């Protein structure tokens, strides 16, 4: 991942330069459409350009195929993990995993 400002700097140093900022965004969107990079021009995402789309695909495959590390039987664990707080956390993670599988909602706790 490189920053948008790094892309601008590399453009300035190149032999064939894109002079206009809008043209540079258009070029990045073209590279995105062809699968060469990952770039979104919306404000919240535009500062990052992912140079290796295959890396993102591999990371998402791992995430989608991952199973939460949850105990099948809480009785198999030590007494600390059987506390009400651990039980609530287990329930919360289980619900988050269910939401991820059904709705595609990913929380930080699952990552």
Does the domain spanning 2-61 belong to CATH 1.10.10? yes
Mean pLDDT of 54-78: 71
CA distances from 68 to 4, 8, 17, 72 (A): 35, 40, 48, 11
The reported pTM is: 0.56
Distance between CA atoms of residues 83 and 30, nearest Å? 54
Which residue spans of the chain are classified as CATH 1.10.10? 2-61
The bridge status of strand 48-49 relative to strand 2-3 is antiparallel
Task: Catalogue the E-assigned strands of 1-111.
Answer: 2-3, 48-49
Tell me what pLDDT residue 17 has: 93
Reported as a single tens digit per residue, the pLDDT across 4-26 is: 999 999 999 988 899 999 999 99
pLDDT band of residue 111 (cuts 50, 70, 90) is low
């Amino acid at each position: 991942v490189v920053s948008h400002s790094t892309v601008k700097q590399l453009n300035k140093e190149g032999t064939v330069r894109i002079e206009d900022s809008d043209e540079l965004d258009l070029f990045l969107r073209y590279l995105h459409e062809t699968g060469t990079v990952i770039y979104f021009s919306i404000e919240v995402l535009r500062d990052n350009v992912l140079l290796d789309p295959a890396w993102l695909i591999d990371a998402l495959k791992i995430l989608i195929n991952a199973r939460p590390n949850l105990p099948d039987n809480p009785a198999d664990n030590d007494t600390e993990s059987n506390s009400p707080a651990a039980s609530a956390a287990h329930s919360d993670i289980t619900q988050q995993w269910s939401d991820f599988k059904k709705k595609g909602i990913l929380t930080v706790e699952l990552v």
